[in-house]
Structure 1
Amino acid sequence: MFALKKLSTSAKTVAQPALRRQLGNYSLIRGRTVIVPQYQALKRCITTTSNTAEAEDNSAAATENTNDHHAVVSTFDLFSIGVGPSSSHTVGPMRAAKIFITDLKEHKVLDKVATLRVDLFGSLALTGVGHGTPEAVLMGIEGESPDKVETSTIQSRVKDIQTNKSIRLDGTHRITFDYEKNMVFNYFKTLPQHPNGLRFCAYDKDSNLVATNEYFSIGGGFVVNAETQLDHGENVYYKQINKKDAVVAERREQDIAVVSLPFRNSEELVAVCKRENMTIAQVVFENELKWSTPQEIREKLLRIWNTMDDSIRNGVMASPNDYLPGSLRVKRRAPRLYNKLLKGLYGGPLNQTGGYSQSYIPANGSQEEPATATPSENGNSQYPLALTFLPKKPKKKFVLPALDYLSVYAIAVNEENACGGRVVTAPTNGAAGTIPSVLKYYLEFISENPERDVMEFLLTTSAIGMLFKRGASISAAEVGCQGEVGVACSMAAAGFTAVMGGSVDQVENAAEIGMEHNLGLTCDPIGGLVQVPCIERNALAAVKAIAAAQLALNGEGDHRVSLDQVIETMRQTGVDMMSKYKETSQGGLAVNVPLC
């Protein structure tokens, strides 16, 4: 029998006091996946656990008062490769399911499980079907991860699970699973920690509870527990599945202790840049060096971009007669729009054998050697690597020859996302088209060094995303679409300003403008599908990001409203926003546009 000290810390997820439920319900020990060989063992844990939980609460509160956590997370946790159509409803739940199954394996109780129950709460229940949540959970249970699952096989595998009423835990241990009975949608219940909650309960052949846990998908594919959700700003999350890769307690200490250039808000970020005479991208690069080598950073950034570019290509090269999945019967628009643009540029129809201008940058092989930057040249001997790989850019002239491409690229990505294709959370799947669109536009029409510009752009945008994640939210279920498309617009505006050679103050100004004019943006997807108004909204956000950058570049960087003030305003607006406008499809366009 497992002692409390041997219970998992890798899936530390829930603060739930209701331990005294009967066998077969949801008995949880705070912060741990509960392994329960016998119900009596759980009962004996109740008193001890409640006392322990209270002590942990007091300790956490004391820690929060003494540690004001910085905003820095890894760029490659903020930008992650996943599957559509939603990072919070698809990527996060798939990760959560895989974490739970991995926990069962590590405790060597996987073979004892005979059946499984999954409960979806709040937004995951209300719009989960349209967002692909059930399918994502089932794939996670079978051991798949968002960045590696073969997207073309998901629907056939789900159909097989539903037909045969069975599922394979981790792809190996087949158990009984009646989808209609064991996948439970709690439409009008929300767990107190976050609107996107889900619970797993595993039972043995005698219906005894073997293990249970709750998880919260907070946007961008991040999966957290109750403690980290309540501890404002703490950077503990579950992008990694195996605790060998990242133990939560160790990561908590690591984030606080080892970051080279920590910052909590945009004011501190700008101050760090000026103090160290570095750009925002250089600061982020320097922080990434604590986790990866320069070559690894380069390769991972290029992999992120190449996946973005692939999603654009797949979107514009799809059949113009295809419809997006779901009841809305929305026809793909990107292929037709792209065909018209190419016809206008080249005076003929789209070349069906190769009509896409690929912006792929190989991560291996020959590459331009970075210009050597010596301490005497840059005035900074403490951080030579970031200055070497990302030298400061001269200011460029600003022209807009083809804004139509912004819309086409953004629509292409989000149509791929709606079809469950491979996209990058930027910072979420619902907002996945804005940042790739702006970067693609820059590479095609302005860039003189694509590889370096990709690095500069993505590192700059990630810094802005970190600020929103810490200071407000990137989850539409928490704050509406201002937390997804609004944040993406702000990030893209900052990245574009940076690669155009703007100053740190101008980058901050562009990010502020990008969000200021998305404040209050609601999330009201029709039919619970990430299609209308989501797809067009990404296109408009891309155009708005360029406009924000233009305003900032034409200014001196001084402005009346700061980015920090806008982020706090966004947070307050999200708190005040009615829940029917927060990805529940209970208000706005979702109720005013008929489905038939």
Structure 2
Amino acid sequence: MVGMDERMTPADSPALEADASFERFDAGRATPAALVSGEVAAEDAAHPLSLFDMFRIGIGPSSSHTVGPMRAGRAFAVELADLDTAADPDRAPARIAIDLFGSLGATGRGHSTDRAVLLGLAGYAPESVSINEVESLLPTIAATARLPLSGGGTIPFDIASDIRFIPRTRLPYHVNALTLTAWRRKGTCTRGEEHSSGGEGEDAVPSNSELHGLHPSAEREEQIILKRTYYSVGGGFVMVHTTEDPLGVESLAAGQAALNMDVPAPHPFTTGAELLSACEASGYSVAELVRRNEEAVRPRKELDDYLDLIANTMFECVDAGTSTSGILPGGLDVPRRAQGLATRLFEGTSSSAGVPASGSPWVCAPEDPMRAMDWVTLFALAVNEENAAGHRVVTAPTNGAAGVIPAVLGYLVLYCPEAGADRGTPSAPSGLGRASAPLKHMRIGVHPIREEQEDSASLLSQAALRRRHAVHEFLLAATAIGALIKTNASIAGAEVGCQGEVGSASAMAAAGLAQALGGTPEQVENAAEIAMEHSLGLTCDPVAGLVQIPCIERNAIAAVKAIHAARMALWSDGRHMVSLDVVIETMRQTGNDMLSKYKETSEGGLAVNVVEC
């Protein structure tokens, strides 16, 4: 294990001085997030990242360490299946090896990165894989020593030797790197011939040529039929090496990539200032402006259907979390709390903490105005417990921060008249289902809601129509903020710490709530700025590499913060001293200056101070 004062060393970089930062901020250097944004740029105008990019359905516990590697594995399997093995049987794969570098190597076991890559190689997609398949594949491979491939058939696979965790090596482009290698059927070389290793897989430093399957000797090159290095840069985005240049990468197909991106966005923006200028010039709200950009490349119905799908998946995740008890996987024995909290919130007003020495338990009165925040806490806990269990969640914008936006959406649909909620007491918000499924009756309909389609309004109650419209407005505005953060900084904990994950989610949720409650573009931008400003410096130091401590509770805190940020912005006129652009840039610089042990390596902070037993 890396010592507390050591730093991860990039593969192609000299050793750092003892008092040097791991990576100094360089305003002229393109970040991985900026390159991802460039991948979806139109020819004549910037095309912001899409709602289809910022919100994706997948499995837990991590978008960068689970969803991204799973997509990489699937892409590798598809490319492998495309090889003409029928014409040349010798090109059929006999063995596949997986190398996980940097943060993937450091916390990959806790994040189930190994299982995710194997699921991808077997042909499963994070959007559609069943939970039964997720939980059964690894035991099946271990029992049979065979790996099923998406192209058909199986190959020998030894989990212990064919998957290597290499935390001490950081590849040049990004800290979340994995290399997949397939060997031919005949004359396969041994695993040890590929990389020199400094004990237990540490300090292996592949050359640039090795990253692309080009090896020093022709004999070795003949043994390999396919080798690819992928980078999971956060939020499920994956980049793949394409050239000899260490930074020569391109994105795997994303939400926008399959569309006709030669169609310029009608209202392009790459900064918060440009977003506000575009809103002023067009007269649109932030949500409407994002909608117009989306509809330039896809039908309105497709957009509305996806908005419904995302919202309903979030609500279903809340209900799944509140109906499940037990211990979360991973070895920390963290108990699920959402189900018990839901029951107590429905049943009464007394705390579960027991009777103190004074004999008087803490009591939360039904009229307590903070009771609404108890429900917000519940929703966030429920989602993040589902994520920690490896179940279905919406990446928003990452899995580690997946509970923030659903929790604030729950507040919107249950407590805000603007979203069709009836005014009720905080202890009994309108529309709640039973304790095990509090948002069961909050599902979003599938009928048109726009003004020119009012003849369909009779198909839904007016409250349901308002709720659907408010939820759509929320998600569209949140998309704009998430796109700005990912384009100009990062949403990856391994790159900038938790400020990029939970901080980004809190900013997106604050902006979405401000929009749904009728905020101006200036107020929406202000809400995002407030939430992000007060998330600066958050470290990513998960105990045991699991997305449990402090991640689950941190989502609840960030959700409450987002609500307060939105309300602060709505009570003002939107004018403020610190702009969203400045805060995003500050977050980027802070992340660059942050030691790697505080960026999803489990080598500092809580990860080394909490006893794992």
Q: State the TM-score, normalizing by the size of structure 1.
A: 0.76
Q: Verify the 8 A CA contact 1:71 1:265 in the aligned structure 2.
A: no
SS class of match (2:377): helix
Partner of 1:413: 383
Q: In the comparison of the two structures, how many residue pairs are matched?
A: 474
1:494 to 511, 528, 537: 511
Partner of 1:324: 328
Q: Verify the 8 A CA contact 2:529 2:583 in the aligned structure 1.
A: yes
1:220 to 205, 229, 235: 235
SS class of match (1:136): helix
Question: How far apart are the structure 2 equivalents of 1:526 and 1:295?
Answer: 43
1:379-432 per-residue CA deviation (whole Å, 9 max, x = no partner) reads xxxxxxxxxxxxxxxxxxxx8661111110000000000001100000000000
Partner of 1:126: 106
Question: How far apart are the structure 2 equivalents of 1:461 and 1:326?
Answer: 32
Partner of 2:460: none
Partner of 2:337: 333
Q: What pairs up with 1:162-241 in 2 under 5 angstroms?
A: 162-170=142-150, 172-206=152-186, 207=188, 208-225=223-240, 236-239=251-254
1:141 is the counterpart of 2:121: yes
Question: How far apart are the structure 1 equivalents of 2:339 and 2:499?
Answer: 28
Q: What pairs up with 1:61-460 in 2 under 5 angstroms?
A: 70=46, 72-109=48-85, 112-170=92-150, 172-206=152-186, 207=188, 208-225=223-240, 236-239=251-254, 246=257, 255=261, 257-319=263-325, 322-344=326-348, 402-446=372-416, 447-448=419-420, 449-460=466-477
Question: How far apart are the structure 2 equivalents of 1:269 and 1:179?
Answer: 48
- Which residue type is aligned with residue 347 of structure 2? K
Q: Provide the alpha-carbon RMSD of the alignment.
A: 2.8
1:464 to 460, 481, 486: 481
1:569 to 574, 579, 586: 586
Partner of 2:607: 590
1:43-70 per-residue CA deviation (whole Å, 9 max, x = no partner) reads xxxxxxxxxxxxxxxxxxx999x99983
- Which residue type is aligned with residue 143 of structure 2? T
SS class of match (2:97): strand
Q: Verify the 8 A CA contact 2:45 2:268 in the aligned structure 1.
A: no
Q: Verify the 8 A CA contact 2:54 2:395 in the aligned structure 1.
A: yes
Question: How far apart are the structure 1 equivalents of 2:54 and 2:250?
Answer: 11
Q: Verify the 8 A CA contact 1:71 1:470 in the aligned structure 2.
A: no
Question: How far apart are the structure 2 equivalents of 1:135 and 1:514?
Answer: 34
Q: Verify the 8 A CA contact 1:97 1:140 in the aligned structure 2.
A: yes
Question: How far apart are the structure 2 equivalents of 1:67 and 1:577?
Answer: 36
SS class of match (2:536): coil
SS class of match (1:218): strand
Q: Verify the 8 A CA contact 2:261 2:297 in the aligned structure 1.
A: no
Name whichever of 219-228 and 437-446 sits farther off.
219-228
Identical positions, percent: 47
Q: In the TM superposition, what is the alpha-carbon distance from 1:262 to its structure 2 partner?
A: 0.8
Q: In the TM superposition, what is the alpha-carbon distance from 1:194 to its structure 2 partner?
A: 0.4
Question: How far apart are the structure 2 equivalents of 1:407 and 1:146?
Answer: 27
Question: How far apart are the structure 2 equivalents of 1:69 and 1:114?
Answer: 47
Q: In the TM superposition, what is the alpha-carbon distance from 1:160 to its structure 2 partner?
A: 1.1
Q: Verify the 8 A CA contact 1:413 1:432 in the aligned structure 2.
A: yes
Q: Verify the 8 A CA contact 2:147 2:156 in the aligned structure 1.
A: yes
- Unpaired runs of 5+ residues, structure 1, are 1-15, 18-61, 347-398
> Which stretches of structure 1, 4 residues or more, deviate above 6 A after TM superposition?
66-69
Q: Verify the 8 A CA contact 1:167 1:176 in the aligned structure 2.
A: yes
- Which residue type is aligned with residue 406 of structure 2? P
Q: In the TM superposition, what is the alpha-carbon distance from 1:107 to its structure 2 partner?
A: 3.3
1:127-166 per-residue CA deviation (whole Å, 9 max, x = no partner) reads 0010010010000000000011111232222111122211
Q: Verify the 8 A CA contact 1:193 1:226 in the aligned structure 2.
A: no
Q: Verify the 8 A CA contact 1:220 1:428 in the aligned structure 2.
A: yes
Residues 455 and 168 (structure 1), Cα distance of their counterparts in 2 relative to 1, 3 Å cut? same
1:191-246 per-residue CA deviation (whole Å, 9 max, x = no partner) reads 11001000111111221110111110011100013589x999x9944336xxxx95
Q: Verify the 8 A CA contact 1:78 1:462 in the aligned structure 2.
A: yes
- Which residue type is aligned with residue 79 of structure 1? F
Q: Verify the 8 A CA contact 1:72 1:235 in the aligned structure 2.
A: no
- Which residue type is aligned with residue 121 of structure 2? I
- Which residue type is aligned with residue 218 of structure 1? V
Residues 268 and 227 (structure 1), Cα distance of their counterparts in 2 relative to 1, 3 Å cut? farther
- Which residue type is aligned with residue 118 of structure 2? L
Question: How far apart are the structure 2 equivalents of 1:63 and 1:275?
Answer: 26
Q: Verify the 8 A CA contact 1:259 1:287 in the aligned structure 2.
A: yes
Question: How far apart are the structure 2 equivalents of 1:310 and 1:148?
Answer: 15
Q: State the TM-score, normalizing by the size of structure 2.
A: 0.73
Residues 475 and 227 (structure 1), Cα distance of their counterparts in 2 relative to 1, 3 Å cut? farther
Question: How far apart are the structure 2 equivalents of 1:587 and 1:187?
Answer: 14
1:302-356 per-residue CA deviation (whole Å, 9 max, x = no partner) reads 001111001000001113xx0000111010111111111111389xxxxxxxxxx
* More helix by percentage: 1
Q: Verify the 8 A CA contact 2:237 2:251 in the aligned structure 1.
A: no
